[in-house]
Amino acid sequence: MKLTLKVWRQKGHNDKGSLVEYQAKDVSPDMSFLEMLDVVNEGLIKKGEDAIAFDSDCREGICGMCSLVINGKPHGPELGTATCQLHMRTFSDGDTIVVEPFRARAFPPVKDLAVDRSSFDRIMQAGGYVSVNTGNAPEANANLISHHTAEKAMDAAACIGCGACVAACPNASAMLFVAAKVSQYALLPQGQPERAKRAMAMREAMDDEGFGNCSNEYACEAACPKDIKVENIARLNREHLRAMICSDE
């Protein structure tokens, strides 16, 4: 396959970026999108040019690092797929592909396709954990949890914190991400002691980071590589309301 790439290049946070055109030749349909970028970078390095900066880690759709907007869609055209899982057979020979970074005020650019998503880390640090010392692992059947509840918690915990929901949202809202992190604890017994505190702290941290609010566009759910559902946002709103009521008592 031969492809034309229009890649966003930006030297630093304070520099002005632009789309630069590259030719990707001899691309195997079995390559992942990131492997294709690796090949392009090898060619640039051989010519003495600066390689395209982009984030990646596990390349197994787990770490959430591969945050690219491909032809206007976070992670590309395939639903429920991270960029590292997107294969070049999705595209056709001769296609032009536009590659950009996630764009949000709370995701400041670092270089080229890499952005600073440490705002997500700060939100989780604000309350997305269990600080109770539980000791040794209890007997699996000691805490009775319905299958339905356990599945809901596991579905929320599948969030990899990639930020595709923010990139897809016209308001750059992080509600789906925060909702998933709040939900996975609120649904299980282990998360009950700090349930109210967690909902308040993470919601406030999200606002402090400059993310927008949810306006029910559903673009976040459509872009999520792990199919996190917007029903979690409704749960986050209920948890936040419950926390405010409890704090007034």
Give residue 144's pLDDT. Answer: 83
d(Cα 178, Cα 104) in Å, to the nearest integer?
16
Note whether 76 and 162 are within 8 A (CB): no
pTM for the full model?
A: 0.92
Q: Around 209, how many Cα atoms within 13 Å sit in the side-chain half-sphere?
A: 30
pLDDT reading at 89 higher than 80: yes
Mean pLDDT of 217-234: 96
pLDDT band for position 225 (cuts 50, 70, 90): very high
Measure Cα distances from 100 to 19, 104, 112, 139 in Å: 8, 12, 8, 48
| Burial class of residue 96 in the structure, from the number of CB atoms within 10 Å of its CB (0-12 exposed, 13-18 middle, 19+ buried) | exposed
Domains identified in the chain and CATH numbers: 3-111 (3.10.20.30), 118-248 (1.10.1060.10)
What confidence tens digit (pLDDT) does each residue in 119-162 have? Answer: 999 999 998 777 767 677 677 677 788 999 999 999 999 999 99
Per-residue pLDDT at 130: 74
